[in-house]
Structure 1
């Protein structure tokens, strides 16, 4: 049984709403606790559903709201909305890298999870779209850069 059918059976209205919000349920990716879909009401966005309480959506919301007016904001995919309980997050959609030459040679030191799937292109720039886990508390909003070990 899929994640979608598990959470919505037998509620047909909830299932229809899910299909509407996720552009017919096309899964873009998933991780430890979240599933990511295109946002059906705005193709420039994705919608992230967090099924476990790891608070990655909340972490991304908090990080974005702290950095959005700073120079380092250029490294983050913007977050547009979070639900009251934090289980649903809407974020700007990035595009996958077309070539390895688009991968940045250096990134801010607080980015620890430099998996290629966690990054993408937005307006011609490489940005992180999965920053639910980070080292901002330990490292601060440093401008120090490091060469990532892309994997």
Structure 2
């Protein structure tokens, strides 16, 4: 028997399919580069563009053929229905012909809102790969996820001054998961209440 879906899930899937179809039409009509023409950034393997017509999205275009967009799309499709999705900026559409990825746009994170701990499955975990999406701390560059890793670790942007011992940092300490779930729920609530995201 199939899984029952609530009205919100059905509407979200319909919207995702409509956006995917719209993106595919833009690619087919070769209009995508005209619409997403504002450069936001450039990494090792991709360029990211924004659009005034689609302000809630960014378009990731490959610089080489390393498959980062395809890996990121695959990671999203694996994680989107589980508890890991709350850590990831949502991928909305992927066009394999052009290797183009449409993703939800994140906002920069003020320094005092950077969390102390992050999930251990993040591979490329420098500050530039994270942002706020609808008031939640998420990763927006996750083509390097290690889905075999589980637990929590100290965020790489936290230094020794935070009081954690060297032994804690050297060993992959696995604190009780429910303690840190509560920590991140409180963190997300504080961010939303601050009004910055």
Q: Report if the CA contact (8 A) 1:96-1:120 is conserved.
A: yes
Q: 1:72 aligns with which of 84, 88, 99?
A: 84
Counting matched residue pairs gives: 130
Q: Which residue of 2 aligns with 1:150?
A: 157
Q: Which has the higher contact order (CA 8 A, sep 6+)?
A: 1
Q: Which residue of 1 aligns with 2:107?
A: 95
Matched, 1:117 2:128: yes
Q: Distance in 2 between matches of 1:81 and 1:135?
A: 22
Displacement of 1:51 after TM fit? Answer: 2.5
Per the normalisation by structure 2, the TM-score is 0.61
Q: Which residue of 2 aligns with 1:43?
A: 55
Instruction: Write out the 4+ residue segments of structure 1 that deviate beyond 4 Å after TM superposition.
Output: none
Q: Report if the CA contact (8 A) 1:37-1:48 is conserved.
A: yes
Q: Distance in 2 between matches of 1:86 and 1:66?
A: 22
Structure with bigger helix share is 2
Gaps of 5+ in 2: 1-28, 159-197
Matched, 1:131 2:142: yes
Per the normalisation by structure 1, the TM-score is 0.78
Q: Distance in 2 between matches of 1:110 and 1:135?
A: 5
Matched, 1:19 2:26: no
Q: Which residue of 2 aligns with 1:7?
A: none
Greater radius of gyration (CA):
2
Q: Report if the CA contact (8 A) 1:57-1:132 is conserved.
A: yes
Q: Distance in 1 between matches of 2:121 and 2:87?
A: 11
SS of aligned partner of 2:38: coil
Gaps of 5+ in 1: 1-12
Displacement of 1:150 after TM fit? Answer: 2.2
Give the CA RMSD over aligned residues.
Answer: 1.9
Q: Distance in 1 between matches of 2:58 and 2:47?
A: 10
Q: Report if the CA contact (8 A) 2:107-2:131 is conserved.
A: yes
SS of aligned partner of 2:34: helix
